[in-house]
Amino acid sequence: MQYLVYILFSEKLNRFYIGYTSNIDQRLEFHQQAESHKFTSNANDWELFLKVECESKTQALAVENHIKRMKSKVYIQNLKIYPEMRIKLLDKYNQGSPR
């Protein structure tokens, strides 16, 4: 099973949303039809900004948590601009075995 970390962007809110999934199409549909108590229901213009393919659920959760802890739009934008940042991030959370 393929896991990935995804980042959505809403121009209306000027905000990012970070999550992980094993089914991106299903997850995007969930966010587009989010109920009123969900954060992503605050906007209807969520676009897939970036996805990072991971080797396991454990790695995906670690990468997701790392990005969230950074609390930085600039960091997220740089992840898209500089692929080497994504590679280093995946290596850091590669379940202890270096590539």
pLDDT digits (tens, 9 = 90+) for 2-47: 999 999 999 999 999 999 999 999 999 888 887 777 888 889 899 9
Looking up tokens 């802890």 gives 69
Cβ count near 32 (within 10 Å): 13
The pLDDT value given to residue 11: 96
DSSP 41: G
> CA nearest 53: which of 75, 22, 32, 79?
22
Kindly state the average pLDDT of the residues 67-87. 98
CATH fold of 3-92 reads GIY-YIG endonuclease (3.40.1440)
Cβ count near 31 (within 10 Å): 20
Task: Quote the pTM value.
Answer: 0.90
Distance CA 96, CA 31 (A): 33
59 pLDDT more than 90 = yes
